[in-house]
Amino acid sequence: MDQLPERVLQKVGGRAGVTQLANLSASDFTSLMLEVARQRAARETPASLLRRYRADRFVQPAGAGWQLIRTVEDTLAANLAPETEVVTLPPLVPLGCHAVLGPMSQDRVVTAMRAVEVAADPTNALALEAAARRRARSAAGTVRLAAFQRVVRAQRPSPGYLPHFSLLGLATAGRDEGSFRFERTAVAEHVRALVTGLRAAGLGPTQLALTPLSSAGENIAAAIPPELADVSVEVVLDRDRDSGRGYYRELCFKINVAGGGGWAEVGDGGFTDWTARLTASAKERLLISGVGIDRVLGLAAGNRVVSGGAHR
């Protein structure tokens, strides 16, 4: 509430008024906001719609054509592990999904009126689905899910980029198997699928940059190279990485591709405690990863497309 200008607070009854609105039940708040939206929409005209369409960064078309995006998606999907189920995610997730699991500030999410928010990352929704499946049938074994999704992030993007972009998200959920067997197998599956898919999409040499975040992460990182002996990828340790340290647990990684005389990030992943928290079981394990489809297209074409970047 500290970010709200005083002039705005005065118009809704001050801080107490905002608190009263926040304390409304979900159904009452939805009813109120729908009425507000109806009144605001009634003031719009064709001219104002066109003016806002041309000015609003959230509604501009992507810079990459749908055929190119579809081609990359099909190529990456064809190289996923056979056990992986590709699911079609809705564009919305429950209110608080990114803030509770991420954590991601609610300011970075496009919040809707019906106790939902626009998806900002497919792996959050995949984690919810994986947790629901694991809880419903805990003896079913490892759950492997993937999804392609156009997502929106509300923070102002860098110049030349749009706030919406396509991601391939992967999520592998299971139970602790001891000796980090689940962890090293899951990382190898994700990396093998993504590196093979990126190669098929026309990108050059690839690099896997591992960042251990704990002593357990050190053990997992040491076990990864032998698991990827059949994959043409350079494996390195990146202990200087800053991003993701409050997001991931134990180990995180980046997938980079050769380009422009150096390495360019195209994918990101790591372990989280999301399914453990969602199922209230400390034995649950979850690995997530993602690749930016628009980013792949830009690197494959040798130039940057006008849209969003990588996963994290």
Closest among 99, 135, 132 to 117, alpha carbons compared: 99
Q: Per-residue pLDDT averaged across 107-132, rounded?
A: 94
Q: For residue range 38-82, what is the model confidence (pLDDT) as tens digits?
A: 999 999 999 999 999 999 989 988 888 889 999 999 999 999 999
Average pLDDT, the chain: 91
Q: State how far the Cα of 282 lies from the Cα of 279, in Å rounded to an integer.
A: 9
DSSP-derived secondary structure letter, 107: G
Fold of the domain spanning 59-301? BirA Bifunctional Protein; domain 2 (3.30.930)
Q: For residue range 274-306, what is the model confidence (pLDDT) as tens digits?
A: 999 999 999 999 999 999 999 999 888 763 333
> What percent of the chain has a predicted confidence (pLDDT) above 90?
72
Against a cut of 0.75, is the pTM above it? yes
Q: State how far the Cα of 100 lies from the Cα of 170, in Å rounded to an integer.
A: 19
Backbone angles phi, psi at 10, to 5 degrees: -65, -30
Position 24 pLDDT exceeds 70:
yes
User: Position 246: which residue type?
Assistant: G
Q: State how far the Cα of 162 lies from the Cα of 164, in Å rounded to an integer.
A: 5
Q: For residue range 120-137, what is the model confidence (pLDDT) as tens digits?
A: 999 999 999 999 999 887
- Provide the token pair at 265: 């990030």
Q: For residue range 167-198, what is the model confidence (pLDDT) as tens digits?
A: 999 999 999 999 999 999 999 999 999 999 99
Specify the domain boundaries for CATH 3.30.930.10 within the chain: 59-301
The burial class, CB within 10 Å (0-12 / 13-18 / 19+), for 165 is: buried
- Provide the token pair at 130: 């994986």
Q: State how far the Cα of 116 lies from the Cα of 18, in Å rounded to an integer.
A: 19
Q: State how far the Cα of 90 lies from the Cα of 311, in Å rounded to an integer.
A: 18
pLDDT at 306: 36
Which residues pair with residue 170 across a beta bridge?
Answer: 146, 289
Q: Which alpha helices (H) appear in 79-180, and where do they start and end?
A: 97-101, 122-136
Position 160 pLDDT exceeds 80:
no
CB contact burial 86-95 (16+ within 10 A = b; e otherwise): ebebeebbeb
Residues 6 or more apart whose Cβ sits within 8 Å of residue 200: 75, 76, 78, 79
User: Position 185: which residue type?
Assistant: T
pLDDT at 2: 61
* Torsion (CA) 289, 295, 297, 301 in degrees, nearest 10: -140
pLDDT top residue among 29 and 220: 220
Residues 6 or more apart whose Cβ sits within 8 Å of residue 246: 103
